[in-house]
Amino acid sequence: MLKRFINWLARKTPQYKALEANRDEWRDDYLEMCARRSTWEKKARGYQDVLVEITGSIESITTPNGTLRKIRRMANEGLAG
């Protein structure tokens, strides 16, 4: 009972009302971030497909660093050869 009263009282404060107003803005920002993340994941999958075509295997795409190292090595071999 006391906890309910404290929560009710807290909702009446200006600070709580300000937080509640910001909550909608934060939710919109979060949803936008999720949409961007989805777009990035789609792009990453597209890049992965291209890398598989270039390298001929998916083994080189286990980690981003490994992928970049393999691409650099292939580029250096291509420039040297």
Rg (CA), the chain: 25
More confident residue, 29 or 79: 29
Does the predicted TM-score (pTM) go above 0.85? Answer: no
Report pLDDT digits (tens) over 12-44.
Answer: 777 777 777 777 778 888 888 877 777 777 777
